[in-house]
Structure 1
Amino acid sequence: MRDLDLRRLRMFVEVVEAPSLRVAAERLFISQQALSAAIRDLERQLGVELFSRSRRSLTPTPAGKALYEGAVPLLAGGAHLASEVRLIDASNPDPYTIGHTPGLAPSEVFEIIEGAVLADPSLPITVRPLSPSAIREEILGGNIDLALARSREVPPDLAGATATRHKLRLAVNAHHPLAANPTCAMKDLESCQIVVSELEEDYVNMLVSYCRRAGFEPKIIASTLRGTPPHMAVITHPEACAFVTNQPGWLYGNQIRIVEFDDPPMTPVMALWLPNTAPRIRNLILDAVGVSVETELI
């Protein structure tokens, strides 16, 4: 069988995503007849029907849905490869962009990339905040090259590996009862509210699982703050506590106490990227933190 024609594959994706064949053809700047012919050629090549056809719409068949799910990251990978090749030939390449979710402090991101940066200080790297819900879209769209998030899940059309793990601690307001404790147990949170960012659903689910393993159902409340470190939530929610990765001790003019757990849970930091790509900078970063992509893929 001939290799897939990426041009026809892109046409197929446009037909799936557009509200009609006419709109898809307009977006591709070709006629409806040419687009229909291209889809038919793709179906003949694969030996399957990709759409259930009616007078009003084209509905992907199960085979069409499977092709679409694989085509989106494949086309993104092709664009990424073309960009990578052009950058190698450029005297002033665009930076390698890393997005990180709010649960990760910029200093924690630097710890992950530090080894690669020290090995080659000339690496052009840009780090910026990223909404957890935007990870897939930003990577597939080529806006970021690597995402770092507190997560255990990898979207089905992305690749990923655990970059590192951080010890969780507890942030409480200075007036909270647990602020006087040198350490605490997870079970001590049974009667406490736990304030979280509602933006990071997977991370929240992970925290809930830690509490359930300790034998209780947590009382979760959503933080009203956006764009500030997680420990600051206990200033606006003084009755609640928050899971953090700060070092133990006092913060914010002794208004916040970071308390160690007797048996601290470890939270993973997941690195996410386009599958079937191997950019040099990403490999340098993962090698420096001891991640073997071949063995650590999730």
Structure 2
Amino acid sequence: MELRHLRYFIALAEELSFTAAAQRLHISQPPLSQQIRDLEHELGTVLFLRTSRKVMLTEAGTAFLAHARSIMASAELAATQVKAIGQGMTGALNVAATGSMLLGPLAALMAEYQRRFPAIVIGLHEMAPDAQLTALLTRAVDVSFLRLPPADAELTRETAWREPVGVFLPAGHRLAGRGAIALSELSEDGHVFLRLRDSTFADYLRKCCIEAGFMPRITQQVIEAYSLTSLVAAGFGVALAPRSVSALSRPEVIYRDLVPPAPAADVSMVYARDQSPVLTRFLSFARRFLAEWRAKQ
């Protein structure tokens, strides 16, 4: 028994006319009659009573109609679901990022993606940068948003958005009245840093300080950027941070840009080379969304 047999049977059962059913199926009557005979032969029972004037379902035919409709509905649902999965319209997407990434366009990107593709289940996983790379390589997550990710032959990276680095200062700092500050002017201060062992971005900032003529005196190291302002306010020193993190500023802490050329805090989308349909669709959507976001900045 094939789905074709069921489709022909349902058409005839609903039309109760070989002529009308054949027209509905866009075939001639002889093939329709033959398919119905084949189905009845396979089932070992008569499904239709045929007279010169009309066609009627038998009791067996009436019972079989409900099953045939159910089978066809299940087959259509399966085809629709498989097609949706293949086109990246349904499934799961796991995104890794540090919490501070949500201060930029990432939160809005994910919200709009969820609105456009409600059948996709999105999981956001807050992780330290090195943990994100491990999760990508083990396929625990699909895409990660990282600042200055290290090169890896198994991973692809592309710029998501660009962002400069500035500095958090205590409100009473000697440079607080400046509009912009040269990195070299922070050589005498203690520095609160992102944890060096977790972050290539933190290591990059340290190298920028060295290039500016000083080795930063690191007083504390933190995992998340939103911890920086609390420690700066408490008097542990100053903190270099991406501009988006300035949204976390508080009365006793101020944020100032650095004099160009300032360190960059550019964010990359990082993902495995073998992409699922869901990831392929997300990346395409993200590129368009972020391009529009950049145009508005």
Both structures adopt the same fold (TM-score exceeding 0.5): yes
User: SS in structure 2 opposite 1:95?
Assistant: strand
How far residue 214 of structure 1 moved from its aligned partner, in angstroms, is 2.2
Output the amino acid matched with 1:167.
P
How far residue 249 of structure 1 moved from its aligned partner, in angstroms, is 9.0
In the other structure, the counterpart of 1:187 is 184
Q: CA RMSD in A?
A: 3.5
In the other structure, the counterpart of 1:273 is 271
Q: Matches of 2:192 and 2:103 in 1, distance apart?
A: 21
If you compute each CA radius of gyration, which structure gives the higher value, 1 or 2?
Answer: 2
Find out whether 1:289 has 2:290 as its counterpart: yes
In the other structure, the counterpart of 1:204 is 202
Q: Which moved more, 1:85-94 or 1:184-193?
A: 85-94
Change in 2 beyond 3 A, CA 1:91/1:208: closer
Q: Decide whether the 8 Å contact of 2:97 with 2:146 is kept in 1.
A: yes
1:59-82, Cα deviation, whole Å (9 max, x unpaired): xxxxxxxxxxxxxxxxxxxxxxxx
Q: Matches of 1:284 and 1:172 in 2, distance apart?
A: 38
Aligned counterpart in structure 2 of residue 99 of structure 1, from 76, 96, 101: 96
Q: Decide whether the 8 Å contact of 2:100 with 2:224 is kept in 1.
A: no
Q: Decide whether the 8 Å contact of 2:192 with 2:219 is kept in 1.
A: yes
Change in 2 beyond 3 A, CA 1:240/1:106: closer
Q: Decide whether the 8 Å contact of 1:103 with 1:229 is kept in 2.
A: no
Higher helix share: 2
In the TM superposition, what are the counterparts of 1:121-140 in structure 2 within 5 Å? 122=118, 124=120, 125-140=122-137
Q: Matches of 2:110 and 2:255 in 1, distance apart?
A: 26
Residue identity over aligned pairs, in percent, reads 15
Gaps of 5+ in 1: 1-83, 292-298
Q: Which moved more, 1:267-276 or 1:235-244?
A: 235-244
In the TM superposition, what are the counterparts of 1:255-274 in structure 2 within 5 Å? 255-263=252-260, 264-274=262-272
Q: Decide whether the 8 Å contact of 2:190 with 2:236 is kept in 1.
A: no
Q: Matches of 2:248 and 2:175 in 1, distance apart?
A: 13
1:201-259, Cα deviation, whole Å (9 max, x unpaired): 3011211232233233322333357584433331244433332324769932x111011
Q: Matches of 1:85 and 1:272 in 2, distance apart?
A: 27
Output the amino acid matched with 1:193.
G
Q: Matches of 2:149 and 2:237 in 1, distance apart?
A: 29
Q: Which moved more, 1:122-131 or 1:87-96?
A: 87-96
Q: Matches of 1:233 and 1:174 in 2, distance apart?
A: 13
Output the amino acid matched with 2:135.
E
Gaps of 5+ in 2: 1-80, 293-297
Output the amino acid matched with 1:269.
V
Q: Matches of 1:286 and 1:248 in 2, distance apart?
A: 25
Q: Decide whether the 8 Å contact of 2:162 with 2:266 is kept in 1.
A: yes
1:72-104, Cα deviation, whole Å (9 max, x unpaired): xxxxxxxxxxxx979717999443121102553
Change in 2 beyond 3 A, CA 1:249/1:113: closer
In the other structure, the counterpart of 1:58 is none
Q: Decide whether the 8 Å contact of 1:171 with 1:259 is kept in 2.
A: yes
Relative to the length of structure 1, the TM-score reads: 0.57
In the TM superposition, what are the counterparts of 1:77-116 in structure 2 within 5 Å? 88=85, 93-110=90-107, 113=110
Q: Matches of 1:250 and 1:282 in 2, distance apart?
A: 29
User: SS in structure 2 opposite 1:267?
Assistant: coil
Q: Decide whether the 8 Å contact of 1:160 with 1:272 is kept in 2.
A: yes
1:145-193, Cα deviation, whole Å (9 max, x unpaired): 1101111423232221121111211111223322233321111111112
